[in-house]
Structure 1
Amino acid sequence: MANDTDKPLGLRNVVSVSMGLIVSMSCLVSLGQGAGEAGLMFIPAMLIALVLNLCSAACMAELNSLMPNATGGLVQYTLAGLGPLPTLVTMVGGYLVCNILCGGVEAAIFGSVMAETLPIPIPAALWPTLVSAVIAICALMGVDVFAKLQDFVSYLLLISMIVIGLIGAFKLGTGQIVQQEAAVATDPASVIAAVGTASWLFVGAEYAIPISKDVRNAKRNIPLGMALSLCLIFVMDSIVVVGFSNYVPWAGLSESATPHLLYGEDLLGSFGKIWMCVVSALAFTGSQNSTVNGLSQITDGMTKVNMMPHFFAKKNKHGAPAVAILFVTISICVIAFFSGDSSDAISFLILVVTVLWLVSYIFADIDVLVLRKRFPKAPRAFKVPGGPLIPVIGILGTIFMIANISSDPDEALAIWLLSAACFLVLGIYSWIWIKKKMHMAPLKPVPIPEVLAMENDLYYTIRHRRGIWR
């Protein structure tokens, strides 16, 4: 095993990977639409969402410190904490399905943005396909190449967003300054209602966990990197919201399918629109890069515990899960091809995906409490302070965000019903898979030593040869 100093990644890489998935095309849309509905009061809503997501990120970091070399991360944590059924439902619904769907929608938005902004006779669907192909090639070349691309994209995106936000905040743009009320929503209930939308702006920091085995001083850099990324995103988004207030009518932001492009054009004319087009390209590249790498690692981890077909575990000469990388990339491109770019449809889908993802956070927080109870003396390089307080706050806060996922009661009900239907279908599928393929008790947790033993390919091979796993 390589020494810690030989590992290729450090704190900078953890921050860039965490930011890469969070600052996506859909987040740019949610930022604009959330600001359009609440005005500057969207900033307090973002602060609440930040605090709640910091609690969940801390719990993820503790789980990672307990099982630091687990390939799939949350796959193994939940398997040890709650058993196969919650694990399969959470990972398929909360990660694979929702991330591939969201990635496809973001790819479609990116294609539309590029086709609308650049006078180049290229079909809209070709733009995300070309970027996805480059990202897949980088992922196939191993974690070091992936991390270098992520560093470049994430930090350039962060700087670009802060600069264009500051130009608007200090009224230095060339466009017409808008005179409007600073806050659309002023009562506490309206701010609370905006927390659901704001929560999407901070979901995904845990995508740094699958790379933890390649990170130097992971016990410090993983929790610190996730926390830094979330705080940097809050600062960046707050500056941009102030910029919005000076140059774009709130109603225009809430109604636009691409509010960031609208802001760029109102701020700096055609140059600003092109600038935000570049920001869109960086956001799509960063989120796609994190999605492809993170989901392929998670899929690889699921094959180790027989929750996905075993061919997804096939590695290339660089040690990258090649089949999983190609599967995720192609799936996103196919969904992008069939997706539309309606503002209402995009907003609704983002909120549904948010619920699916937030449920997986609840399971992670529960995992922390369960595994502390079951293995109180197990070594943990990082432990969330305050006893059960932060995990409990994380659980209650996440439920609160789901309950306030939309200020429109009819839309909220539709989101909850669709999410519940998704989990019901996933539950039935998972029960059948576990009974027929895994021959395990669906709700019986697996001991940590056995979960860690599953990291060895021989574990699957032996069980498969004996006919235990099919």
Structure 2
Amino acid sequence: MPELKRRLGFWQAYATATGLVVAGSTMVSLGNSFGTIGPAFIVSAFIAMLVSIMIAMSYAELSSIMPGSGMVGDYTAVSMGRFMAIVALLGGYLVLTAAVGPMETMTTSMAVHYIFPGFNPVVIAFCILTVFLIINLLGVEIFGSIQLSLVVILMVMTAGMGLFGLFDLFTVNKSVPSTFNPHGWSTVFQSLALGLWLFIGIEYVIPLGEEVKNPEKIIPKAMIFGLSTIFVVDMLFGIALTRHIDLTKLSSADIPQILGAKSMYGHTGAIIMALLTLLAGASTINSNLAAIPRMFYGLARQGLLPRIFGYIHPTFRTPWFSIILVYLMFALPLLVLKVNVNIMTTMLMSASVTWLISYIITQVDLLIIRKRYSHIKRPFKAPFTPFIQIIGISVCLYMILTIHPNPETKRIVYYISGGFMFFICLYAFCWLKFKKMPLFKPVSLEELKSQSVFIEQPIPQIQPDQMEKSW
């Protein structure tokens, strides 16, 4: 079977790590959260960033031991067996695709619709998806170049708009600082999950580990640098919003970032922010179509998904079937869903619950593998283990239990996320029984190595099928 190739450097890895995180839906969530919590949301976001760094350290160590595209599926198979491997990967990432993907695409199309009111948002959404489908089918170099350009423009422009807004440069009105913490600290600490959503997905660079040069060094740096820059950019823009628009309007708007930009810079500002929202959505769609198919590819190599998910196109070296499947999962719900801020927030929180469960499993994976394989070489080693994992697990559990202050909304979120997890567990049980594989018997590292091929740096003059295959 054709293999993947190592072609991405640090900046492409950084762009991939941040590309999903800085999303159109994240910009909506950022505006709504600052409107709901007030400027004190910066505290929620800061704590969430620290937790995200802890989680990223665990991912970095595990990926340095098992640098395959199966990511958490590989780690969990070695620590807890195949059943939990399927639950960890599909629970964290299939739910994202099914629940949030269409929301992200519609947010992007709403930004285009704001600029060109005569265009149909659904048609726009399909066009955007199709463009990035073609890009990802054609090869990882094209993906990396476009992703880097999108992220640089997006980060610089968003930070600039926030900075200018804070100092009243080029604004149409003077800023008026709002009450820092209008609803009390209990609300701030119950909003950690909303803060985490600003950073969730930084590990998306890991499934491209087989296509990143020197991944054990580049991937940790890309994730930490990505989390830090995202925090700075988001907080600059978020605090600026609270100084130029009423918090109530900000909390209830479908596209608060555009509404806030209009309050700061007039119609021109709104158009610029709509374009930035378009870039953010495009970046996220691009990252999803790159990373999630490679996760499916990794599971298929272990026999935990049908073999077709592991198909690599012989010319373009991309997982075509999985890319097309993710495209359909993004596109088809657009025909029946109508996006508004309430639906979007509910779906984001539902995906957050299953994603947090996946994060918890990853922390447990590291603790188990540290104990079981204490002798193996680790190109990257997470500092302060097991303390950061214990803190990470505890905070993730807290976020799940305090996902929303409204009990009725929390109940709906639990129903949606619980439904997803039920069907994933049902699939895992039936598939493993059908394949006559043990459910909870851990896979050894040697067995995983025989199922998955990890490749060294390719030499351009040698054909891929002649390359030495190793860890």
- Note the C-alpha offset of 1:144: 1.1
Moved more, 444-453 or 360-369: 444-453
- Note the C-alpha offset of 1:393: 1.2
- TM-score, length of structure 2 as denominator length: 0.92
Letter in structure 2 aligned against 1:296: P
1:125 corresponds to 2:137: no
Letter in structure 1 aligned against 2:10: L
Moved more, 88-97 or 13-22: 88-97
The aligned counterpart of 1:97 is 95
Instruction: Name which of 275, 278, 299 aligns with 1:278.
Output: 275
User: In the aligned structure 2, how far is the partner of 1:126 from the partner of 1:95?
Assistant: 26
User: In the aligned structure 2, how far is the partner of 1:208 from the partner of 1:419?
Assistant: 25
1:249 corresponds to 2:246: yes
**Equivalence map 1:382-461=2 (5 Å):** 382-436=380-434, 438-456=435-453
- Note the C-alpha offset of 1:410: 2.4
The aligned counterpart of 1:288 is 285
User: In the aligned structure 1, how far is the partner of 2:104 from the partner of 2:383?
Assistant: 37
- Note the C-alpha offset of 1:237: 0.8
Query: What SS does structure 2 have at the residue aligned with 1:71?
Result: coil
User: 2:39–2:178: 8 Å Cα contact kept in structure 1?
Assistant: no
The one-character-per-residue Cα deviations of 1:383-404 (angstroms, maximum 9, x if unpaired) are 1111311111111111122122
The one-character-per-residue Cα deviations of 1:238-275 (angstroms, maximum 9, x if unpaired) are 10112112211111110011111111111111111110
User: In the aligned structure 2, how far is the partner of 1:44 from the partner of 1:152?
Assistant: 30
User: In the aligned structure 2, how far is the partner of 1:87 from the partner of 1:410?
Assistant: 32
- Note the C-alpha offset of 1:31: 0.3
User: 2:107–2:281: 8 Å Cα contact kept in structure 1?
Assistant: no
The aligned counterpart of 1:156 is 153
**Equivalence map 1:306-325=2 (5 Å):** 306-316=303-313, 317-325=315-323
The aligned counterpart of 1:48 is 47
User: 2:252–2:341: 8 Å Cα contact kept in structure 1?
Assistant: yes
- Note the C-alpha offset of 1:428: 2.1
1:33 corresponds to 2:36: no
User: In the aligned structure 2, how far is the partner of 1:180 from the partner of 1:205?
Assistant: 32
**Equivalence map 1:138-287=2 (5 Å):** 138-177=135-174, 179=176, 181-185=178-182, 187-287=184-284
User: In the aligned structure 2, how far is the partner of 1:449 from the partner of 1:305?
Assistant: 13
Letter in structure 2 aligned against 1:63: L
- Note the C-alpha offset of 1:27: 0.5
- Note the C-alpha offset of 1:328: 0.8
The one-character-per-residue Cα deviations of 1:283-306 (angstroms, maximum 9, x if unpaired) are 111000110010110111111122
User: 1:17–1:150: 8 Å Cα contact kept in structure 2?
Assistant: yes
- Note the C-alpha offset of 1:131: 1.7
User: In the aligned structure 2, how far is the partner of 1:418 from the partner of 1:292?
Assistant: 24
| RMSD of aligned residue pairs (Cα, Å) | 1.7
The aligned counterpart of 1:19 is 18
The change in CA–CA distance for 1:445 and 1:147 in structure 2 (over 3 A counts) is: same
Identity within the alignment, %: 27
Query: What SS does structure 2 have at the residue aligned with 1:306?
Result: coil
The aligned counterpart of 2:457 is none
Letter in structure 2 aligned against 1:356: T
Letter in structure 2 aligned against 1:25: G
- TM-score, length of structure 1 as denominator length: 0.92
In the comparison of the two structures, how many residue pairs are matched?
Answer: 449
User: 1:75–1:87: 8 Å Cα contact kept in structure 2?
Assistant: yes
User: 1:108–1:337: 8 Å Cα contact kept in structure 2?
Assistant: no
Query: What SS does structure 1 have at the residue aligned with 2:192?
Result: helix
Instruction: Name which of 349, 352, 373 aligns with 1:351.
Output: 349
User: In the aligned structure 1, how far is the partner of 2:322 from the partner of 2:89?
Assistant: 15
User: In the aligned structure 1, how far is the partner of 2:419 from the partner of 2:130?
Assistant: 34
- Note the C-alpha offset of 1:417: 3.5
The one-character-per-residue Cα deviations of 1:93-115 (angstroms, maximum 9, x if unpaired) are 21013223211111122222322
Letter in structure 1 aligned against 2:64: S
User: 1:175–1:247: 8 Å Cα contact kept in structure 2?
Assistant: no
The one-character-per-residue Cα deviations of 1:94-149 (angstroms, maximum 9, x if unpaired) are 10132232111111222223223324x43211212222222111111211111111
Letter in structure 1 aligned against 2:443: V
- Note the C-alpha offset of 1:350: 0.7
User: In the aligned structure 2, how far is the partner of 1:249 from the partner of 1:187?
Assistant: 18
The one-character-per-residue Cα deviations of 1:401-435 (angstroms, maximum 9, x if unpaired) are 21221122222233223322322232122111111
Moved more, 421-430 or 98-107: 421-430
Instruction: Name which of 324, 328, 332 aligns with 2:330.
Output: 332
